[in-house]
Structure 1
Amino acid sequence: MNRQHLSPLMASDIAGKIVGTDAAVQQKGTPDWPLMERELSLSLEKHVKIRLTVDTPHGTSQLRGFVTVINTYLKEIKLREEDDWQWIRFEDIRSVQT
């Protein structure tokens, strides 16, 4: 059996084709997605606080917190801020910084 190591943001379908955040974000043409993916995974695995720049209906917004869930099926992350949390779609993420 041939096994492949996949990051938490990637999964493979039955045919072995990699799907998930990579495919979702590459459709929008975001060249920095591998770096953002790494930072999101680091926040989830090591509980590292990150700062996100995300698109909102009113422009862009800065968020700071920890990634607690990465949902590749729905293409979103759950970000825990100080006393609150929210779901953020992959397509709305513009940058990720530690």
Structure 2
Amino acid sequence: MNTTALLDMTVTGALGVACLALLLCLWRLVFGPTVSDRILALDTLSVTAIAVLMLWGMQLDSTVYFEAALVIAMLGFGSTVVLSKFVLRRDIVE
């Protein structure tokens, strides 16, 4: 077995595990008992989506997915900060 086949199998396995993590985060986002659980699930969902995009980009040898992962990282961080601030103060703009 050569190294490229082993790398392809590893990336495919990691992609499957990351997709399962996406489904579990989505379940927590929908059925979370508290608002803080849902915010944490949304943040974890964005991090897991970044991992899926990076792995998919590795599997397809395309750099477009890496740029999309960067955009999701920026949006995920911003949305987590805004939602957390809203939950704490019930106001976004001071």
Same-fold status (TM-score > 0.5): no
Which TM-score band (shorter chain)? under 0.3
Tell me the TM-score normalised to structure 1 length: 0.24
Greater gyration radius: 2
TM-score using structure 2 length: 0.25
Which structure dedicates a bigger proportion of its chain to strand? 1
